Structure 1
Amino acid sequence: MGLAIVLTAATANAATLDVTLNNVSPSQTFGYSTNGGSSYKSTKAGVFNWTRTGGSHVGDPVGNFRSFCVELTQNISPGSSYTYDVVAVEDAPNDGFASGMGTAKAALLSELWGRFYSPLFDADQAAAFQVSVWEIVYDGGVDLAAGSFQAQSLATGFVTLSQTWLNVLDGTGAMANLGAMTNPNRQDHIYELPTPTNEQIPAPAAATAGLMGLGLLGIGRKRRSA
């Protein structure tokens, strides 16, 4: 009961983004499985282009910005507007039931973005990047031919490129500063933060609690010293 109250309060106090999805471009059609190859679906894989129209969040993203999807179980439509909560990448996605990929996957996404993202992506590169994001979020490894998340056609050019990028990730590459936006009823996304500030990437609840504990400890020490 106490945990539920804390989580509800945290969601209610989250900074928000009001955004409109313009299109998904450049992109390619991608066949995938999330159940180890038992069945397949298809979707667009590529760059999501947005315009921010409001929200309580202060700072980036502002104006037009780009993102990549981290949630395949929900949908959004070009031309539609949505309100999202601004969260740390490790706390995304949030499908209303379970949330948070954790810090290890968030670090892989940061390295993927730092190593390979370009605003000049063509359709194959954009699709390869999006597929790489999904592989990191939905699997415990980085093999598009194994695990829960699998590509339907491994011979497709952008799938091959995605696997090449995934194979390079080892924790030693450039790390991008990323943020995430989540809605329990809509598809969640990550985006780059060109000007990092403390407000742009909220600290996870556990980290916040730890910092509060350290602060209280410091106060206690000062009082004892006095």
Structure 2
Amino acid sequence: MTATTLRWVVAAITAFVVGTAGSARADTVLLAFQDTTPREDLYIHAYSGTFATMPTGAMQFNVTGGTATGFGSTLTSFCTQIFTNVYPDPTVSVPYNVVPLTGLADVQQQPRGNGVNTPAQQTAIANYLTELWGRYDQFTNTAVGAAAFQLDVWKILYDPVGSTDLTTGNLNVFGASLTDPAVALATQWLSTLTGDTTQFTNNPLYAGQELVGLASAGYQEQITIRDIPGVPAPAGLILGLLGVCTLAARVRVIRSA
């Protein structure tokens, strides 16, 4: 194998491997909604809508299939679309596309048809959500913590990033919910956020993981976490074979010199 031929082989196989790895990231997951737990039932205003005893907390799904990797048999997520329903039948699986946070509908556009967010706004929203997860998702195993976290997700999506007042704005609570401990905790958490994504990327709790959006054309979109998929097995095998071929070619060149 001449040096020129070897270069062509390397280029062709590398292009195949890169293409295979890239295509693996355009993936879907099948989810069956089970429950919102832990949670608080809160009174919430969102734009012109009023939601009495809105289930506010962590959403639990069974993972039943799909092409996506990095998920277990179940996942916990948080809602990004308060005006859209989740499919309620726990025996029915719904396909979701796994996307970056900027690929979610209510990150790309303002809810209730109030306009399209600019790319800078989309990035800012995604950064605030990432920091929120990195700082506080570890505290969502209680009803108060899960409700506070979900309130903050909605506040980041529905009001300008940096908003911390849960009594005013496009998203706010009212009535008896104003004194719920989750509201005070949500306000406290919001006041610490600056869009610092290193709170997630440098947090050892999430080493080897990524924050993703779950996008759906008809049902409530979500944010969740998964293990970062590696190079697909077939591509990894090809890379190994490429190394063997390269070594063999070099040995042959040396012997013929």
Superposition TM-score, scaled by structure 1 size: 0.72
Q: Which amino acid aligns with 2:56?
A: A
**Residue 41 of structure 1: aligned partner:** 51
Name the residue aligned to 1:168.
192
SS of residue matched to 2:138: coil
Q: Which sits farther off after the overlay, 126-135 or 145-154? A: 145-154
CA contact (8 A) 2:60 2:74 kept: yes
Preserved contact between residue 124 and residue 195 of structure 2 (Cα < 8 Å): no
Q: Which amino acid in structure 1 is aligned with residue 57 of structure 2?
A: G
The amino acid across from 1:195 in the alignment is I
Q: Deviations over 1:95-150 (max 9, x none)?
A: 9x888771111110110010111276211111111111111111114221222111
- Matched letter for residue 91 of structure 1: G
The corresponding residue for 1:104 is 124
Kept in 1, the 8 Å contact 2:31–2:62? The answer is yes
- The CA deviation at 1:65 is 1.1
Q: Who is 1:224 aligned against? A: none
- Secondary structure of residue in 2 paired with 1:40: strand
User: Identity of paired residues, percent?
Assistant: 28
Per-residue CA deviations over 1:23-73 (Å, capped at 9, x if unaligned) read 1111110211122xx55213101111111111122x222311110000011
* Equivalent residues, number: 183
Instruction: Report the structure number with the largest CA radius of gyration.
Output: 2
Distance of aligned partners of 1:197 and 1:163 in 2 relative to their CA distance in 1, 3 Å threshold: farther
Contact (CA 8 Å) 1:140, 1:147: kept in 2 or not? no
The code of the aligned residue for 1:75 comes to N
Structure 2 CA distance, aligned partners of 1:154 and 1:137? 20
Does the aligned pair in 1 maintain the 2:32–2:61 contact within 8 Å?
A: yes
Q: CA RMSD in A?
A: 2.7
Answer whether contact 1:47 1:67 (CA < 8 A) is retained.
yes
Q: 1:197 to 1:114 in 2, by over 3 A?
A: farther
- Aligned in 2, Cα 1:168/1:63: closer, same or farther, shift over 3 Å? same
> Structure 1 residues 106, 197: closer, same or farther in 2, change over 3 A?
farther
- 103 and 23 in structure 1: CA distance in 2 versus 1, 3 angstrom threshold: same
2:39 equivalent among 27, 34, 47: 27
Residue in structure 1 matched with residue 219 of structure 2 by the alignment: 186
| Equivalent-residue separation in structure 1 for 2:98 and 2:153 (angstroms) | 19
Distance in 1 between residues matched to 2:191 and 2:139, nearest whole Å? 22
Mapped partners of 2:96, 2:34: distance in 1:
16
| Higher share in helix | 2
Match of 1:157 among 173, 176, 181: 181
CA displacement, residues 170-198 of structure 1 (integer Å, 9 cap, x when unaligned): 23461253101111210000001243669
Q: Deviations over 1:72-96 (max 9, x none)?
A: 111122514211111111111369x
State the one-letter code of the partner of 2:199: A
* Structure 1 residues not aligned, in runs of 5+: 1-12, 200-226
Name the CA distance, whole Å, in 2 between partners of 1:78 and 1:106.
30
Partner Cα separation in structure 1 for residue 230 and residue 180 of structure 2: 39
Unaligned ranges ≥5, structure 2: 1-24, 202-209, 233-257
